[in-house]
Amino acid sequence: MKSYMMAVAALALAVGGAQAQSNYPERPITMIVPFAAGGPTDVVARIVGEHMSRTLGQQIVVENVAGAGGTTGITRAAQANADGYTIMMGHMGTHGAAPALYPNLKYDPAKDFAPIGLAAGTPILIVAKNGIPAKTLKEFNDYAKANADKLNEAHAGVGSVSHTTCTLFNSQLGIKPNRVAYRGTGPALNDLVAGQVDYACDQIVNLVPQIKAGTIKAFAVATPQRNPALPDVPTTIEAGMPDYQVSAWNAIFAPKGTPEAIVTKLTGALSKALDDEGTRKRLLDLGADIPDANGRTPKALQQLVESEVGRWTPVLKAAGITAN
């Protein structure tokens, strides 16, 4: 009987909920992650989402909607009600490279969203098989130019982080290697360790254990500062390629038109999560960068999206890559 009364009460609350926006959130929030459970974006979403749930007093339920390089899930999330109960974890691909890769994209990363804030970035690392004689980025550059017709680069499929970031790397170096596509980072890494392919660019988290074990070697990390997980690996600035600064960032967005008050509340909860000791440690273990207070605002995220779209579009167009 008691539970029945509670159900009636809940129903009444839900009916009244439409006008009571100030009490947000009153029911669980769905966070759409546009990739399968267990992937790097999913991991970041769950780590951050868990602490945000505690701040908001309502569960953040992760819904994995994978497909088409993440654009399937983001398209669905962009069309959801802008009531703050559907948010999404976007990333460098879905909100940076996608407009160049998918000409039929149904959303505009810069216009169709209410940015909440940047959650984390994972730096990109340039690695090569042990069989390559080069020891530094400079030597690799010379080696790549001298052996341009023999060079094989491994990536995790068109549109993946390893693919887009390496496209930029190749164009900045001015080399055109044969690009070998793999279904995911795992198989690509396998062939890199086995020496079937020569080099790759990928997120640091996948590579640290291999570098520490000496099965592959790292030339540079594409961030201004060295990464605590690999203190011996120089930055691209130190290694003489200062323009190559890339990171696979993850950020939370809401659909366009989400009320200001709700956005502020979510941004606050995200920022609080990023200040939490436990959450920070789990993200840092992944090799992630955590944005400082200035980098967490909706405005900063909006600028990041605009600059990323501006950066990737010409690079990918020039390389003649589209996903349709």
CA distances from 179 to 40, 159, 191 (A): 23, 13, 13
- Contact status: 228 vs other proteins (CB under 8 A): no
Contact (CB, 8 A) for 139 and 274:
no
| Min dist. Cβ of residue 68 to other proteins (A) | 5
DSSP, collapsed to helix, strand or coil, labels residue 99 as helix
Q: How far is the CB of 297 from other proteins (least distance, A)?
A: 27
Tokens of 208: 């640290």
Minimum distance of other proteins from residue 13's CB (angstroms): 10
**β 152-155/178-181 pair status:** parallel
| Interaction residues for other proteins, span 92-111 (CB under 8 A) | 101, 104
| Closest distance to other proteins from the beta carbon of 94 (Å) | 14
The answer to the question of residue 135 lying near other proteins (CB under 8 A) is no
Asked whether the CA dihedral 279, 273, 159, 73 is positive or negative, the reply is: positive
| C-alpha distances in Å from residue 87, one per residue of 49, 105, 261, 280 | 11, 19, 15, 22
Please report whether residue 175 would count as binding other proteins according to CB under 8 A: no
**Contact track, other proteins, 39-68, x by CB under 8 A:** xx-xx--xx-------------xxxxxxxx
Strands 86-91 and 247-255: antiparallel
Both tokens of 202, joined, read 């990928």
Q: Shortest distance, CB of residue 49 to other proteins, whole angstroms?
A: 10
> Is residue 209 a contact residue for other proteins (CB under 8 A)?
yes
Q: Which is nearer to other proteins, 154 or 300 (CB)?
A: 154
Stretch that binds other proteins, among 108-116, 205-213, 219-227, 293-301 (CB under 8 A): 205-213
Helix axes 40-56, 277-285, angle to 10 degrees: 180
If the CB atoms of residues 49 and 109 are measured against other proteins, the closer one turns out to be 49
Query: Whose Cβ is closer to other proteins: residue 71's or residue 267's?
Result: 71
- 204 CB-contact burial (10 Å; exposed 0-12 / middle 13-18 / buried 19+): buried
Residues that bind other proteins (CB under 8 A): 11, 14-15, 18, 27, 30, 36-40, 42-43, 46-47, 61-68, 72, 75, 85, 101, 104, 152, 157-159, 178-184, 186-187, 189-191, 193-194, 196-197, 205, 208-210, 212-213, 215, 282, 285-286, 321-324
